[in-house]
Amino acid sequence: MSEVFEKLSGLDRLVHEPARLAVLTALSVCRKADFMYLLKLTGLSRGNLSTHLTKLEAARLIRIEKKFVGRKPNTMLALTRKGRKAIESHWRALDELRAGSQEWDPSAEEPT
- 56-95 pLDDT, tens digit per residue, is 999 999 999 999 989 999 999 999 999 999 999 999 999 9
Q: In Å, how far from its chain's centre is CA 15?
A: 4
Beta bridge partners of 91: none
Amino acid occupying residue 2: S
**Domain residue ranges of the chain, discontinuous segments joined by +:** 3-91
CATH classification of 3-91 is 3.30.565.10, yes or no? no
The helix/strand/coil state of 73 is strand
pLDDT at 1: 42
Other residues' Cβ atoms within 10 Å of the Cβ of residue 6: 9
Cα–Cα dist 47/84, whole Å = 24
* For the chain, percent of residues with pLDDT exceeding 70: 91
Q: Show the CA angle centred on residue 46, arms to residues 89 and 30, nearest 5°.
A: 40
pLDDT at 110: 64
Exposure on the CB side of residue 39, measured as CA atoms within 13 A: 12
> Residue 112: which pLDDT band, with cuts at 50, 70 and 90?
low
